[in-house]
Amino acid sequence: MRLASKFKSPLITLVDCPNAQASFEAEHHGIAHALARNIATMANLPTPIVSAIIGEGGSGGALALCVADRVLMLENAIYSVISPEGAAAILYRDAGKAEAVSGGLKLTAQDLHALGIIDTVVSEPEGGAHLDPAAAAETLKNHVIAALHELRDVPPRQLLDARYKKYRHIGQEGTYWGQRVRSGFSDVFGLLAYAVSKIEKSNRRPKSVDGAPRSRAEKIRTPVVSGPKRAERE
């Protein structure tokens, strides 16, 4: 990564790892420090970065390689902060319930693109990339080249600012959140319309002389005419 920065070359990462190893040995040998160092280095690297998730993008192992200006993802790949097995083990004390929690993790390429977490879903050959690796690689290469063309003329300072904003607001943009916002506005406007209609109905109610609403009995009571007016009428 630092060599890419030194020679002003773009950096490309290909991600396919199930998880960062969660074991005593891994922690003892500094896996947490290695992951944090990777993330910090990529966040501040003044050269274009393109990451492609080509299989499993699990936990810190994938996150440490995906701090990129453009994140591509094969359509049948997955990408998540924790594996379904890990989430099931935490929630249910049973890793065998991974399928039950996988939907809530939103780990598919389509879900992540809707959330604005990845930038591009890369199509695979029919049946999956493993059935035609050469065609899948060619398609991915074209997407990587296209992404690099978008980034090659961006000044380093602007590149770093855009990368910061991208990850500062990750998960708050995309079509999914747009739909949620529109739905929220629709609910608010519906409540406002209901409140206005109630006010209008209240304003149309008959008023007594002192301005207070007239009771039902007052509305239907026949006025009593007396004195000269009654004599004249008779």
Instruction: Look at 1-10, 103-112, 119-128, 167-176 and tell me which has the smallest mean pLDDT.
Output: 167-176
Q: Interhelix angle for 98-105 vs 84-92, to 10°?
A: 110
Helices and strands of the chain, counted as H and E runs: 12, 5
Domain spans of the chain?
2-173, 181-233
In CATH, what number does 2-173 get?
3.90.226.10
What's the pLDDT at 41? 94
Per-residue pLDDT tens digits for 131-157: 999 999 999 999 999 999 999 999 999
Say yes or no to pLDDT of 233 above 80: no
Per-residue pLDDT tens digits for 2-28: 999 999 999 999 999 887 777 888 889
- Its sign, for the CA torsion 106, 109, 110, 114, is positive
What's the pLDDT at 20? 75
Give the residue-averaged pLDDT of 208-217: 54
Q: Which residues contact 10 (CB under 8 A, 6 or more apart)?
A: 4, 47, 48, 49, 50, 148, 151, 152
Confidence of residue 193 (pLDDT cuts 50, 70, 90): low
Confidence of residue 206 (pLDDT cuts 50, 70, 90): low
What is the token pair recorded at 183?
Answer: 């739905």
| More reliable by pLDDT, 37 or 179 | 37
Q: Which of 19-23, 96-100, 182-186, 191-195 has the highest mean pLDDT?
A: 96-100
Tell me how crowded residue 126 is: count the other CB atoms within 10 A of its CB. Answer: 8
Residue with tokens 């065998």: 96
What's the pLDDT at 185? 47
What residue type is assigned to position 23 of the chain?
S
